Amino acid sequence: MIALPEVLTIIALLILAGACASKVSSQLNVPVLVIFLAVGMLAGSDVLGIPFDNAVVANAIGTVAMAFILFSGGFDTSWKNVKPVLGYGAVLSSIGVLLTAVFTGLFAYAVTGGKFPLEWCLLLGAIVSSTDAAAVFAILRSRSVSLKGRLQPLLEFESGSNDPMAAFLTIFMVGMIQSPGESYWMILPSFLIKMSIGLLIGFAWGKLAVWLYNRIDLEYDGLYYVLGIGFVLLTFGSSEWCYGNGFMSVYVAGLVMGNSKFVFQNGLGRFLDGMAWLMQVLLFVMLGLLVFPSRLPEVALTGLLVAFFLMLVARPLAVFLGMIGSNFNKRERLFVSWVGLRGGAPIMLVTFPMMANTPNAWMLFEIVFIIVLASVLIQGKTLMPLARLLHLDKPLRETSRSPLTFENTGNAGSQTAEVEVPKGSLLAGKKLVELHLPESALILLIRRGGAFVVPRGATEIQERDVLMVIANDEDLKELERRLQASVSDTPAIRPA
């Protein structure tokens, strides 16, 4: 038995090593998630000798981690941005995942020469069928990425909403292996029931959370963040308890809350972002601990063959079939096909057959690990070069962190927003005193390039300035109306 202080020290060191090692990723041009995995592998049984092979514990940690990652992903997703791509995003995250699982499973069955049963190969396909939310969010929301048009909201929505489908297919296939002879047609009613329940419960808890935040008036600010943790766990647990899909529920609840207005919304968003990163570090380091590198060579060839088929055939075929009739051009569809990163979710999902003691479960885990490693290394490193090659990237605009943060405490009656002065604006060259702002509107700070300017009456506004404004809702709308009336390029107004 290892004493609790030793366990806590090891966990703390692994978390710190994973977080600090992320700084190395940009210098080595390696995706940060690979660094997290490497830390876990170095600490594991084959290297430094920390023993960890408990699938039940790994599944519990991985499930909680994915719940927070998906909730944070939904919270940061703008409904206004994803609404135009909702239809095709939903198709890719459901039918696209199913097609990817079937194509990959059939290929695995063929490439192994029937060594494993078809159900086992389809289980492998199901586990690696979804794009990983943690991996995609980490790359697309980094400071090095900017994509044209509707690509980014489509990819973020798909990656956030397709893990529930992969989890459903994985658990379904485990059941098929344990109960031979069951009809595959059971998948349709089971899918509709679980996803519908998950969606409804997530929506209900999201709305209830917003209502409670706006009315509870807690004495201690820190308790608002405790409420957030409670709602994430309650949403996932209650959904699974009611035969719903917990991953779908937490994503929908996060989406509802992130697109509503409530007390301490900005602070909760930052807190959840930190929680999501903590969970990513825990998840990937833990999964690295589970791996025995000495066992990987015997499954490396199979894993690489399946990985390349998944990247070059299964995912693109599923995407092109799922986007038939869309107004996305071929270059955009090709790029969407390539953004099929596999990350922590597949390795977490493989713990389900490990817990169920399905045949060759550890070999399945090792093959999945090879697939994930190949995907993150190859696709993660080539994502933006491909975007530039296809002319789908936008010029990167570096933004500095604002030294001012404001929180809606429910008392001020005002909110902060960032207003960008577009190129060619009639405001450019005017002094602040000449803007004739609405009565309650006040410009607090001006972000100009990588620096900040403290506003005064004589300060001149320049093109591409970002004005941090505080005002009530009515005056913010009036300010937006005036700016839109003065320029052809509608300025971007977003919560600060």
State yes or no: pLDDT of 122 exceeds 80: yes
State yes or no: pLDDT of 492 exceeds 50: no
Rg (CA), the chain: 24
Question: Would you say 141 and 153 are in contact if contact means Cβ atoms under 8 Å apart?
Answer: no
Question: pTM for the complete prediction?
Answer: 0.82
pLDDT of residue 213: 92
pLDDT of residue 402: 59
pLDDT of residue 133: 65
Q: If you count them, how many residues does the chain have?
A: 496
Residues pairing with 476 in the sheet: none
What residues contact 432, with CB distance under 8 A and at least 6 apart? Answer: 443, 455, 456, 457, 458, 459, 461
Q: Tens of pLDDT along 196-207?
A: 999 999 999 999
Q: Tens of pLDDT along 286-331?
A: 777 888 888 888 899 999 999 999 999 999 999 999 988 888 889 9
Tokens, residue 80:
């206004």
Q: Tens of pLDDT along 376-411?
A: 888 877 887 888 888 887 765 555 555 666 666 555
pLDDT of residue 52: 74
Residue ranges, comma separated, of all CATH 1.20.1530.20 domains in the chain are 4-389
Q: Tens of pLDDT along 240-285?
A: 999 999 999 999 999 999 998 888 888 898 898 888 888 888 887 7
A 10 A CB-CB count for 442 gives 15
For the ranges 3-7, 226-230, 419-423, 455-459, the one whose mean pLDDT is highest? 226-230
Tokens, residue 411:
């008392």
For 443, half-sphere exposure in the C-beta direction (CA atoms, 13 angstrom radius) is 27
pLDDT of residue 180: 75
Distances (CA, A) of 247 to 57, 115, 234, 483: 18, 33, 12, 41
Alpha-carbon 185 to chain mean position? 31
Specify the fold of 415-495.
Alpha-Beta Plaits (3.30.70)
pLDDT above 90 as % of the chain: 26
Residue ranges, comma separated, of all CATH 3.30.70.1450 domains in the chain are 415-495
State yes or no: pLDDT of 426 exceeds 80: no
CATH code of 4-389, in short, is 1.20.1530.20
pLDDT of residue 114: 78
Question: Would you say 200 and 107 are in contact if contact means Cβ atoms under 8 Å apart?
Answer: no
DSSP 379-421: HHHHHHHHHHHTT-B------PPPS------SSS--EEEEEE-
pLDDT of residue 414: 67
Q: Count Cβ atoms within 10 A of the Cβ of residue 112 and give its class: 0-12 exposed, 13-18 middle, 19 or more buried.
A: middle
What residues contact 422, with CB distance under 8 A and at least 6 apart? Answer: 463, 464, 487, 489, 490, 491
pLDDT of residue 490: 44
For residue 83, what is the DSSP state? G
pLDDT of residue 71: 93
Q: Tens of pLDDT along 45-76?
A: 666 667 777 888 888 888 898 899 889 888 98
